[in-house]
Amino acid sequence: MKKLLALLCTLGLAQPAMAADISTLNLLTQADFKTLSEDLGAALSYKPITPAEALGTTGFDMGIEVTQTDTSNSAQIWKKATGGGDDISKVYVPKLHIAKGLPFGIDIAAFYSKIPSTNISLTGAELRYAIVDGGIAMPAVAVRGSYTKLGGVDQLSLNTKGLDVSISKGFAMFTPYAGVGQVWVNSTASVNGDGGVTLSEKFSQSKVFVGANLNLGFTNVAAEVDKTGGIQSVSIKLGFRF
């Protein structure tokens, strides 16, 4: 577990390619901005990293996590958006995540993120309802609404809204899960791009994800692979779930 914690910390801090602020969006064309927004929408949209089963009224799920997203589609565009530097083919988003169980199969959760060496911060929240509780023979099924909002970037306003359904089935300490959904992205720059065009995009992206949770009593480990708009993200979370 110490090695996994060290890996999470390393991934969250090791971002040499991201050592720049998003501050020169005026250099982008409308096509550039759309591609960048698609990659940011996939990277910054909500990643549950949790099974579908409800936590219960006394339940908590707390942890630190890191999400790595493949942004190779916009690697060259990041150079323009940050005023130079290296291509950015992967974005790492470290988060502090907490979830609380409520009565009637309802869970609420929220996270906060600050990406080191950049001006990017991120907040998000979810409301989840287990429409099927699950049991020894029956899997749990849940629906979730989520929201994330970009912060810290003066030139860019970006938020995502998500809706998904997930299913999970526990086997002792191990619980695999999967889900499908849709993400709506609203991305607007406070500057005009190259040629005087207004930089603004609203679009939706389909979402599929699979993951697994391993509860070892005093330690909980979860991992998830997500494809939003065909863009892959991989997440790892280490914490406590009870």
Query: What size, in residues, is the chain?
Result: 242
Name the residue with higher pLDDT: 135 or 152.
Answer: 152
pLDDT at 3 over 50: no
Q: What is the CA radius of gyration of the chain?
A: 18
Q: What percentage of the chain carries pLDDT values higher than 90?
A: 76
pLDDT at 26 over 50: yes
Parent domain of 155: 2-241
Return the pLDDT at 217.
Answer: 85
pLDDT at 156 over 80: yes
Q: What is the largest CA-CA distance in the chain?
A: 61
The tokens describing 76, both together, are: 């060259």
pLDDT band at 20, cuts 50/70/90?
A: low
CATH code for the domain in which residue 75 is found: 2.40.160.20
CA dihedral 89, 8, 99, 137 (to 10 degrees): 90
Total number of domains in the chain: 1
CA dihedral 27, 28, 29, 30 (to 10 degrees): -140
| Residue-wise pLDDT tens digits, 47-58 | 999 999 999 999
pLDDT at 69 over 70: yes
Return the pLDDT at 86.
Answer: 65
| Residue-wise pLDDT tens digits, 101-114 | 999 999 999 999 99
* Rounded distance between C-alpha atoms, residue 9 and residue 94, angstroms: 8
CB atoms within 10 A of CB 163: 13
Q: Which residue in 3, 64, 82, 47 sits closest to 160, CA to CA?
A: 47
- The helix/strand/coil state of 16 is helix
pLDDT band at 85, cuts 50/70/90?
A: low
The strand ranges marked E within 71-197 are: 90-101, 106-114, 121-132, 140-151, 156-168, 174-192
Average pLDDT over residues 79-99: 87
- This prediction has a pTM of 0.90
* Rounded distance between C-alpha atoms, residue 112 and residue 66, angstroms: 12
* Rounded distance between C-alpha atoms, residue 144 and residue 124, angstroms: 13
| Residue-wise pLDDT tens digits, 205-218 | 999 999 999 999 88
pLDDT band at 141, cuts 50/70/90?
A: very high
Backbone angles phi, psi at 96, to 5 degrees: -110, 120
Q: What percentage of the chain carries pLDDT values higher than 70?
A: 90
